[in-house]
Structure 1
């Protein structure tokens, strides 16, 4: 069985994302070693190396405390490099890279087929100028070196088409079995719900606050890993009806969605957000709840099954209609759309690339 080294931006945990869904399917065809970001050695000691049928989840660690600044960054990058090369061993047939900062690994393992999977356009993040230049440089190097570039959104496809036919679009998907439930409730529910990573580059904080103040008797629950800066956390903590639950295992999401009044997507309308293909757009297809979303990538094409709005005022009016019970949900049409967007079908497209 061929060996596949999976370099991920994310640790393997209970919050499954694109990387885990693909790696889980890859193990049927490859011997997979999955490596996430570095961790302080104190955290690694507490973690167990996870073994699946043909997946080994390995951890790499930081030797130098980050408080030491640039010297720590340089030395930890070198430690990461040598640890990964050691873990990879003599033979790696396929190198799947989701972490745009790991170009040096690709240079060392140049005998392996290189697949660069881009899930977010990090070149559009508001980094400090020097860091932004480094990200742009790393992304360009990986794009040029890759045998195949996989992108998750239409906007990313347009941007990466300069690299020719090696760039292909494979969107995110859904595990239908995880979201089918006999307990799908058509009752009004307990709260308004958002699911996904919580940070200022995605969520419109002013809209989040506007919803909480416009509907003070309603609870707005935000479920997902919290990456907000302290200032945003303090600002949101002033509103008792805004609840940040933190991350939840993806296996629990169907139950959490069933208890909602509606599923909300108060995203920013930025180039970065429009580079995404939110997994929640597919997960929400198997809910019987109304969905209200800002007109952004991942939702703008689903006006036939979701309520798509263009402004904060329209968003608040849509929430008001949910509370009035006047929002219709076409569950059958949603289910049909979900069947066309499964992780199994997405992986069949990935498989063709890996075997080419």
Structure 2
């Protein structure tokens, strides 16, 4: 079987939902081939200040994965040459790049997995069996009106024309399943990676640390709360943020000035070490309709580590049935973190972990559920 994945994330060292699920599907099925479509590069945007310009790497074989054949996984990184307001046919050009790659690989009737709403263009342009995997409600994000209008229109196509709709959270099941059935497949964790002790990372400060792992983005991260937490910990501990940094330069500078240690992105294989060696794990997230739609991967990673967690009342954490998770709204969050660090400094990494409980969140369980969706979309199942 052939599978085309229109992903919101690149295939890189920071693995998220799509990479974990695709890799496990490939290991289970030696006959499966996957074209993984990454977000397009934007040379014009980068040359205006976000970094050195780079054109997309196009179609190429993926780095070798353990247990996966050399020609099973292909990556496509398109190039976005002009802003959408200038190139009104941008999405059509993107879709044509994907279709050319599909033809180059000899895929004749692939299954389409849409995570990026832009994939609506492929749903309209083909008769491929398809499913929409909703991991974020971008219609609720803080975006310009034109972008929200475009995403809303794309999602309408996906919800009405895809054969199946998969969601990662109960909130998304409620908001996207009003007119059609949905399948809930939550996020997960690489249980094996958290079942063994890891050495303390060399760049993790030696002082007691409150650690956050995740992408630094205004959609999720409460920058002001991070500043306040870092200042309250000063002299006794420090706040460490580990993950890709998508914050504006001004906010990055404010965090650094407040004493926050920003380590940047780390490969997924290294993340368990940062989580295990935290004195306290924190989730200083904003509470918005957008964050309420999420099923945070860090929920499962944090719980698998057995460390104490302090979170704002965001989806996932506020409903966690776990004595190690403390939920504190903004005005109490700082005090809760300071108190937790004071009480739990020096506890042995992972000593409170519950490996048996964590196995229920393993990505392999999520792939079991995803295979049922794919099974319903295979040609033999569709003919029956």
Give the structure-1-normalised TM-score: 0.89
SS at match of 1:26: helix
**SS at structure 1 position matched to 2:279:** strand
Instruction: Determine the C-alpha separation between the residues in 1 that align with 2:86 and 2:329.
Output: 45
- Provide the rounded CA distance (Å) in 1 between the counterparts of 2:274 and 2:307: 11
Aligned to 1:340: 360
User: SS at 1:11's partner residue?
Assistant: coil
Q: Show the counterpart of 2:47.
A: none
Which residue does the alignment assign to 1:34?
Answer: 36
Q: Give, in angstroms, the shift of residue 40 of structure 1.
A: 5.0
What is the distance in 2 between the residues matched to 1:183 and 1:243? 21
1:170 aligns with 2:185: yes
Superposed displacement of residue 280, structure 1 = 0.7
Which of 210, 219, 226 pairs up with 1:201?
219
In the alignment, structure 1 segments of 5+ residues that lack a partner are: none
Moved more, 169-178 or 295-304: 295-304
The CA deviation at 1:233 is: 2.0
How well do the aligned residues superpose, as a CA RMSD in angstroms? 2.5
Retained in 2: the 8 A contact 1:191–1:260?
A: yes
Per-residue deviation, residues 72-94 of structure 1 (Å, max 9, x unmatched): 4x354333121101112251331
Q: Aligned pair in 2 of structure 1 residues 223, 333: CA closer, same or farther (>3 Å)?
A: closer
Tell me the residue number matched to 2:62: 50
Partner of 2:49 in structure 1?
A: none
The answer to whether 1:14 aligns with 2:33 is no
3-state SS, counterpart of residue 117 of structure 1: strand
CA distance, structure 1, for counterparts of residue 253 and residue 126 of structure 2: 45
The answer on whether the counterparts of 1:285 and 1:335 sit within 8 Å (CA) in structure 2 is: no
Q: Are the counterparts in 1 of residues 328 and 336 from structure 2 also a CA contact under 8 Å?
A: no
Which residue of 257, 263, 287 corresponds with 1:238? 257
Distance 2:120 2:276 in 1: 42
DSSP 3-state at the match of 1:150: strand
The match for 2:167 among 140, 147, 151 is 151
Provide the C-alpha distance between the structure 2 equivalents of 1:346 and 1:353, rounded to a whole number of angstroms: 11
Moved more, 37-46 or 206-215: 37-46
1:163 match: secondary structure: coil
Counterpart contact for 2:209–2:238, Cα < 8 Å:
yes
TM-score, scaled to structure 2: 0.83
Give 1:14 deviation, angstroms.
Answer: 0.5
